[in-house]
């Protein structure tokens, strides 16, 4: 990690100065990236029923643990193609830009075997994250107030 920071500061201090380089790494890389990562990953996982294993086959378990966000040019770009989270769980080593090619095949397989293939809009995904944060906050408040 030290080589990363040495290279980073040697490249950006001449361009932005020490203060500008610290702002860039703190705000853009740490703050924005971490918030983006949380929204993108959690909108596919939070609302899913994954409390415990229900002795189901691997495919069904993967499909119950996640869902997809509708495909669009913006959704593909914003999520880095992780809007195809079902395909990501089924084929974790496949390059992300190919998920849209295999998605119709996975959906057809699910339809054939009666396994739910869940998809929602990005706004629904964001609403799920906010709802989950509210539920967590309510649980914390109940515990804090000793109810």
Please, what is the Cα angle at 71 between 94 and 122, to 5 degrees? Answer: 110
Taking only the tens place, the pLDDT of each residue in 62-117 is 888 788 999 999 988 888 888 899 999 899 999 999 999 999 999 999 999 888 89
CB 108 within 8 A of CB 117: no
**CB neighbours of 46 closer than 8 A, spacing ≥ 6?**
128, 129, 132
Q: 37 to each of 41, 69, 71, 127, how far by Cα in Å?
A: 6, 15, 18, 16
Taking only the tens place, the pLDDT of each residue in 10-23 is 999 999 999 999 98
Question: What does the alpha-carbon distance between residue 80 and residue 97 come to, in Å, rounded to a whole number?
Answer: 8
pTM (two decimals):
0.71
Please, what is the Cα angle at 107 between 106 and 109, to 5 degrees? Answer: 65
Taking only the tens place, the pLDDT of each residue in 28-44 is 777 777 778 877 777 77
CB 87 within 8 A of CB 106: yes
């Amino acid at each position: 990690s030290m080589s990363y920071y040495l290279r980073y500061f040697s490249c950006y201090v001449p361009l932005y100065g020490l203060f500008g380089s610290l702002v860039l790494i703190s705000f853009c890389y740490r703050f924005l990236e971490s918030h983006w990562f949380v929204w993108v990953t959690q909108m596919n996982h939070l609302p899913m029923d994954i409390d415990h294993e229900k002795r189901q086959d691997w495919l069904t378990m993967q499909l119950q643990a996640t869902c997809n966000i509708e495909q669009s040019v913006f959704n593909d770009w914003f999520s880095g193609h992780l809007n195809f989270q079902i395909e990501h769980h089924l084929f974790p080593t496949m390059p992300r830009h190919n998920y849209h090619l295999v998605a119709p095949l996975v959906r057809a397989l699910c339809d054939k075997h009666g396994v739910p293939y869940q998809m929602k809009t990005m706004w629904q995904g964001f609403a799920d994250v906010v709802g989950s944060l509210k539920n967590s906050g309510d649980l914390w408040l109940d515990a804090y107030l000793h109810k």
